[in-house]
Structure 1
Amino acid sequence: MHALIVLSHPLGTSLTHSVVTAISEGITKADPTNTFEIADLTREGFNPVFSAPDFDAFQKISEVPPDILAEQSRIGGADALVLVFPIYWWTMPALLKGWIDRVFSNGWAYEETADGSTIKKLGHLPVHLVALGAAGKGVYDRHGFTDAFNAQIVHGIFDYCGAPVVTCEMLLMPELGEPKACLDAARHIGCGIFQPVYAQ
């Protein structure tokens, strides 16, 4: 089994990067035949700007840009998609949002039909969301962020495309207390990426 781990953080020394390493360790610990690829959007220089060519592709009046075809091909070769990111302003970083804006395109992730209905095209793709936050769960719950995260990201993006969100975890430092606990949690998530839902 093969996982594509998409990472959005500008610093290679970040806890977010360490969490990605821990998740990848968990993936191979669960089964040494499992493989993974890390897509570091900052290091790879991904362009997150949804521009005129993207809009033309959305309207199906031109071809999908080559850089997006390459990203879609990477996802197509994966048995699971894992997104790892810090929480910025109570959502995902703009770079990762731009990746979704451009990559999850009309005709590939979903299909808008002439009668106004939507065909979900990613039902085969399990998604695992791992967000890192500096605020505590009580703060997020009290201000509605937990519900907003589920509405905006789990439902608004992935359910729209039919991709089942198997893991939706916020690794919050006030609860975890130290980076080691965060990394231990990430390894546990990695071990469960290719396990049946009931075994997690």
Structure 2
Amino acid sequence: MHALIVTAHPDPNSYTQKIVSQVAQGIATHGSHTYEIADLAAEQFDPRFNQADFEQFKSAAPSPADVLAEQQRLDRADALILVYPIYWWSFPAQLKGWIDRVFTQGWAYLDDGERVEKKLGRLQVHLLAIGAASQRTYVRRGYFSSMRKQIDEGIFGYCGAPVITSELLLPSDDHYPDAHYTLAHQLGHTLFHAKD
């Protein structure tokens, strides 16, 4: 089984990257499974939804080459793991733009105006969101339920990709940061456990 780990943080030494590393190490401990890391910042993925993207959406024109390359990465994967810092209560712009451009009409879903065909049912999704505020702040603001509605349901549910893990990692969590490293490593280690 193969996993695609996608992240978007400009600092290669960030806490986000350390969590990515723990997930990858967890997958590697299981010998028979593989992973690929899509570091959107390091790869300088262009998140801007451009005219070619719009033409693909409106008329099923071919997607740009960079979008096709990302779709091929996802086609090879059995699981998608997003590890991201929370910026302004959402994804970083680069990660949101990756979703905007890559999860295209015809590839991720097919909406003919009368019904939606969800095309990514084979792809399990795992979300690790890294926040800086306290649990109390996120609960008071309703962030976690908003995140589940917007991301889990609004994006992945629309495409039929089941969200298996949706975690909010905060500095106020007990045994921070070690508990987060353990969780990330365990996620990687057990990622395909039910399928073995």
Distance 2:145 2:84 in 1: 18
Contact 1:128 1:193 in 2 (8 A): no
8 A contact 1:23–1:190 mirrored in 2: yes
The amino acid across from 2:131 in the alignment is: G
Query: How do 1:60-71 and structure 2 match up within 5 A?
Result: 60-71=59-70
Q: Distance in 1 between matches of 2:117 and 2:130?
A: 32
Q: Quick one: which of 175, 182, 193 aligns to 1:184?
A: 182
Q: SS at 2:172's partner residue? A: helix
For 2:25 and 2:129, the matched residues in 1 are separated by 18
* 3-state SS of 1:167 partner: strand
Matched residue type, 1:22: Q
Task: Give the drift of 1:136.
Answer: 2.2
Q: In the alignment, is the contact (CA less than 8 A) between 2:125 and 2:164 conserved in 1?
A: yes
Q: CA deviation at 1:61?
A: 4.8
Partner of 2:71: 72
Name the structure 2 match of 1:8.
Answer: 8
Partner of 1:159: 157
Alignment partner of 1:34 is 2:59: no
- Deviation string, structure 1 residues 88-123 (Cα, Å, up to 9, x no partner): 11111010000000000000000011x431110000
The separation in 1 between residues aligned to 2:90 and 2:144, in whole angstroms, is: 10
Contact 1:120 1:162 in 2 (8 A): yes
Note the alpha carbon deviations across 1:139-181, whole angstroms, 9 max, x for none: 2111111110001000000000000001111111111443223
| Residues in 2 aligned to 1:154 and 1:136: alpha-carbon distance in whole angstroms | 22
Of 121, 125, 128, 1:127 maps to 125
State how far apart, in whole Å, the 2-side matches of 1:177 and 1:98 are.
33
**Aligned 8 A contact 1:15 1:179 in 2:** no
Distance between the aligned counterparts of 1:172 and 1:80, measured in 2? 24
Deviation at 1:137? 2.1
Look up the SS of the partner of 1:175 in the other structure. Answer: coil
Do 2:60 and 2:106's aligned partners in 1 also have CA atoms closer than 8 Å?
A: no
Under a length normalisation based on structure 1, what TM-score does the superposition of the two structures give?
0.93
How much does 1:195 deviate? 2.1
Equivalent residue, structure 2, for 1:45: 44
Identity %: 48
**2:147 aligns to what?**
149
Q: Secondary structure at the match of 2:167?
A: strand
Which ranges in structure 2 are unaligned for 5 or more consecutive residues? none
Residues 177/135 of structure 1: CA separation in 2 closer, same or farther (3 Å cut): farther
Between the aligned partners of 1:122 and 1:14, the Cα distance in structure 2 is 31
Matched residue SS, 2:80: strand
